[in-house]
Amino acid sequence: MKKPEGKALDEIITEMVEAVEHSKSGIYTIGEESRTEYQLLSEQLEEIKVEVIRVIEETDQLEVKTQLSRNRLAEVSHHFTEFGEEEIREVYEQTHQLQSDLKLKQTREKDLRQARDDIERRLKTLEQTIERADGLVSKVSIVLNYLNEDFQQVNELIQDANEKQAFGLKIIQAQEDERKRLSREMHDGPAQMLANILLRSELVDKTFKERGRKEALIEMRSVRSLVRSSLYEVRRIIYDLRPMALDDLGLLPTIKKYLNNMEEYSHKKIVFTALGKTERLASKYEVALFRLIQEAVQNAIKHAQAEEINVKLEITAKNVAATISDNGKGFDTTAKKEQSFGLIGMHERVELLDGTWNIQSELGTGTTILIQIPLNE
């Protein structure tokens, strides 16, 4: 079975986030290790610089001593007859030792200078590595931000599009179901009654001819009752499609009548409060608000199992606010339901009118729906 697009995208984004976070961790580790090494090398460099200065000073002193010893050796060699053999050997050995020490010091100085230069080059390389690592960590953080936020928004848009597609398909299915229901109701209700009226009217004619006027009047009363019942059924079906009172009387009287009928039918307590203006609204607002309240009340009765429902409608010059609250079982608003098309439909109606809505509900505490619709006209 093919996975839902939203789920597949979630998995892809999760894998990308994990890979990028792993890379970020690796880059950060490289940067920290480079900083540690940089600190150690900096300390070594300072020690070598001190050592170089010390060796240079010692070398300079040895050069002076060596030069003096050479001069003494040259003097002894030139006047060797004036000096004893022991004194000549001592001057020679001293000069040789000083030359050896000087050469060692010079070699040491050269090695220290080489080590200093190597460390300075290494430090420059580490500086560049640390700078690049910091830059990469910053860029990776931006990528993670895109993955965690912007891509998540894309995923939400896809899920929203999928929900809207499913809602559209549900609407088509609901339309087909509604056509079937209307067909059955018309067939089983008014159509059957009209057929019965036709038969009874023929029976009235036959009764009048065979039994007289009195019997015919009795049959006429029965036919009149059938006509009245048929008319009631036709009106009920029309009201379900669109309440005629909404066009004739307006929003407030229609809502009152609907809620009274629902209270009588469901045996639930329904309280309606109207505040603000009572003037008629544009048809699109009246139809939308009636359907929103109708859907919310039906949900409270069918799904929330509420015993008491409160509907408040406040109309001002600039907007309409509707609040529908119940004392039912409530639900978890964070959990998505596969078939919550009623709520999706309400959300669509509110969005079409540039309005906002909010659902406040918790398990066992009831549900409150807040709807705000601006009157742009």
Nearest alpha-carbon partner for 17 in 160, 153, 158, 152: 152
CA 158 remoteness from chain centre:
12
Q: What is the pLDDT of residues 150-193, one digit of tens each?
A: 665 655 666 666 666 665 566 556 556 656 666 666 666 666 77
- Residue of 171 and 313 predicted with greater confidence: 313
Q: Which two tokens stand for residue 370?
A: 């807040």
Is pLDDT above 80 for 290? Answer: yes
Across the range 233-240, mean pLDDT stands at 65
Across the range 197-218, mean pLDDT stands at 73
Q: What is the pLDDT of residues 256-289, one digit of tens each?
A: 988 888 888 788 899 999 999 888 888 888 888 9
- Residue of 201 and 39 predicted with greater confidence: 39
Q: How far apart are CA 103 and CA 117, in angstroms?
A: 21
Residue in the structure block whose two tokens are 């008629």: 280
Continuous segment of H or E residues that includes residue 87: helix 85-145
